[in-house]
Every structure is written in C-alpha cells, then in structure tokens.
Copies of this chain bind each other. A is one copy, B any other.
C-alpha cells in the first residue's frame, strides 16, 4: 500500500540474483496481513481494547514480529490512516476519471457521490484511524490532502467559468467538512441511502458555488 508494490523487504540489500528470495513471507505481504488484522480488530473492539498480541495472533505471527514491521502500536494506526486516505483518494479519482473533463457540475456531482460512498463504506475504519488525529497540531496548509485535491478541482472549474470562487481552500473545507458531517448524521440516523444524500449535497454545493450551468 504505502511502500510501493513489488519492492524487496526494507533493509534487504539488492542481493546477487534478483529479488532476495522471500523468507517465510515477503515483507509487504506480512505487513499487509498485520494491517488487515489490526483494522479488523480495531473496528470490532477499539484500538485501546486491542492488544498487540491479538493482532499478531490474528495475523498468524509471533508477538515480536509486529515490531519488525511497526515501531509501536500507535504507528500501525498511522499506517492504517495512510492506507485509508489513499483508498479514499483513489475512489474519488476513479469517479472523476469517468466524467467529462469539462463538465464541471458533473465532476462536482461525481466528487460528492464518490466521497459520500467512500465514507459510508469506510466510516468504521475512519473512526479508528482518525480518533487521535489532531488537526490543530498540523502546521502546513494542505495537510488534508483530500481537501487540497478538491481545492484544485474547484480552482480549475472556476478558471473554466463553471462557477465563481473567492477562496478555493475555504470553499473546499466547507464542502469537505459539510459532507463529512452530513454523512456522520446519516450514519447516526441509520440512513445509509448515499444517493439521496449525495443529490442533496450536490445541489447545496452547486448553489454555494453560484454554478453557471451554461458553462459546463
């Protein structure tokens, strides 16, 4: 997920032949199995309530092996967070890729629908991996990559005169957090119909953008 696809285990020198023959398991497979086991347990029981030993048991390795792949328990939460974010972005990217490049309202609809869908599907893991995430401790603009992605799209749409836009980042934040809150509410109220919610949100957002429907 994070460290490429077919890379040899970390710390392995580029040995004499090709890839160093996998020991018991190739490093990323092991790592991935640990991440999967952790995600499952964290969702089911919570992070605090899950011991490292439970994770390794579920992954079929010894306790010490955990620490060959992650420096500490918090570290695996961070790794899961990165995996989550990448999955989230990929889903949005895929949705946008099947839109007309210049149909900006459609692109916004696609963004909303895919984000709602991704969040509805993954909110349990989301809660786990973002529980300890402190936005205020993050200094740099653009820390939230999803917001940054969106701001870029909004800017592109504005450049194409699809809508007006004073402050792309602020607008992107309002869209993202608004959507986030709306989905949270839907989940809390057990309304898992993402399509209806997406439609409503899109309309709201397009209106906020003062969308020029002729421009698309």
Residues of A within 8 A of B (CB): 1, 13, 123, 127, 131, 134-141, 143, 166-167, 169-171, 173-182, 184-185, 187-190, 197, 200-201, 203-205, 207-208, 210
Q: Which of B137, B143, B177 contacts A177 (CB 8 A)?
A: B177
B204-A170 in contact (CB<8A): yes
B210-A207 in contact (CB<8A): yes
Q: Which of B176, B182, B184 contacts A136 (CB 8 A)?
A: B184
In the complex formed, the residue of B with least CB distance to A4 is B16
A188-B136 in contact (CB<8A): yes
Known contacts A127-B136, A207-B208; is-contact A141 B189 (Cβ 8 Å): yes
A200-B167 in contact (CB<8A): yes
Other A-B contacts than A127-B134, A167-B200, A170-B204, 12 sampled, CB-CB below 8 A, are: A139-B189, A140-B188, A141-B185, A141-B188, A166-B200, A170-B182, A170-B197, A173-B181, A174-B174, A174-B181, A177-B182, A180-B181
User: What are the residues of chain B within 8 A of A210 when measuring CB–CB?
Assistant: 207
User: What are the residues of chain B within 8 A of A188 when measuring CB–CB?
Assistant: 135-141, 143
Known contacts A136-B127, A170-B201, A208-B204; is-contact A181 B176 (Cβ 8 Å): yes
User: What are the residues of chain B within 8 A of A207 when measuring CB–CB?
Assistant: 207-208, 210
In the complex formed, the residue of B with least CB distance to A178 is B174
User: What are the residues of chain B within 8 A of A166 when measuring CB–CB?
Assistant: 200, 203-204
| Closest chain B CB from A151 CB (angstroms) | 11
Q: Identify the interface centre among A1, A135, A166, A174: most chain B CB within 10 Å of its CB.
A: A174
Q: Which of B173, B189, B203 contacts A185 (CB 8 A)?
A: B173
| Closest chain B CB from A44 CB (angstroms) | 15
B1-A184 in contact (CB<8A): no
A180-B177 in contact (CB<8A): yes
User: What are the residues of chain B within 8 A of A177 when measuring CB–CB?
Assistant: 177-178, 180-182
Complex: how many Å from CA A66 to CA B95?
A: 54
